[in-house]
Amino acid sequence: MINLSVQQVLSLWAHGTVLRNLTDTYIEAKSNLLKSDSKMWYWIFLWALFSSLFVHGAAGVLMFVMLQRHRQGRVISVVAVSIGFLASVTGAMITSAAVAGIYRVAGKNMAPLEALVWGVGQTVLTLIISFSRILATL
């Protein structure tokens, strides 16, 4: 447990320790920016890949559990998950390259957190579109 008095906290602030740490953190974050479009594409694609892998893995486990007694259910679930994952990854490649190209043309750098938002956002958008298409066919 850390016991700091108000006087100790204010003395740290007055000596600039806290301010220096905040400034160093900001400078370090600026140095970690993704500057080339290939790095931007790579990190956006990796986040999209692994978030899609997580979603399709969960769907695959659910299909295996629900269709375990069906004779062809296991094969159908493997095929469905594989095709869904490959289609999702193919779309992620294209959209990740498009986002990285837009950032490059705009002359902006990308923070790693932005790559996470773009990559996971692609998977979330794919889920929303997929569910809306399924519900429309029912």
How sure is the predictor about 11, in pLDDT bands with cuts at 50, 70 and 90?
low
pLDDT at 26: 47
What mean pLDDT is reported for the chain? Answer: 80
Q: Do 77 and 124 belong to one domain?
A: yes
Q: Do 41 and 27 belong to one domain?
A: no
Q: Do 92 and 74 belong to one domain?
A: yes
Q: Do 24 and 39 belong to one domain?
A: no
Residue 125's closest CA among 44, 46, 48, 41? 48
Residue 103's closest CA among 54, 46, 33, 56? 33
Q: Is the pLDDT of residue 12 over 60?
A: no
pLDDT at 9: 55
Residue 74 domain boundaries: 34-137
Q: What are phi and psi of 34, to 5 degrees?
A: -85, 115
Average pLDDT on 77-98 reads: 90
The total number of structural domains in the chain stands at: 2
Instruction: Please give the model's pTM, rounded to 2 decimal places.
Output: 0.69
Handedness of CA 92, 94, 99, 100 (dihedral sign): positive
Q: Is the pLDDT of residue 35 over 90?
A: no
Q: Do 55 and 101 belong to one domain?
A: yes
The total of other beta-carbon atoms located within 10 Å of residue 104's CB is: 17
Q: Do 27 and 87 belong to one domain?
A: no
End-to-end CA distance of the chain: 57
**pLDDT by residue (tens digit) across 97-119?**
999 999 888 888 888 889 999 99
Q: Do 53 and 6 belong to one domain?
A: no
Q: Do 93 and 121 belong to one domain?
A: yes
Q: Do 106 and 51 belong to one domain?
A: yes
Q: Do 67 and 9 belong to one domain?
A: no
